[in-house]
Amino acid sequence: MVQELVRRRLIKFLNEKGVSQTFICKHIKLPNSILTVFKQGKKDLYTDHLNKLDEFLRKESY
């Protein structure tokens, strides 16, 4: 459930802010391919990656 909530926030952030996925990956030090499959709902993130992404989105008010 937490994974899905973060996934939705990520997609909303990307769509509304027009920020590239690569930009986010560079900030949280995550390979682009991992974020792609997460965004598509094909795989979940490891806890540490999920926490970094969640922290980034919260910082950006998402």
| Segment 27-53 mean pLDDT | 97
Domain chopping of the chain, boundaries: 2-59
Q: Domain 2-59 classified CATH 3.90.420.10?
A: no
Lookup: tokens for 23: 């930009």
Q: Is the pLDDT of residue 38 over 90?
A: yes
Sign of the dihedral through C-alpha 55, 3, 35, 62: negative
pTM score, whole prediction? 0.92
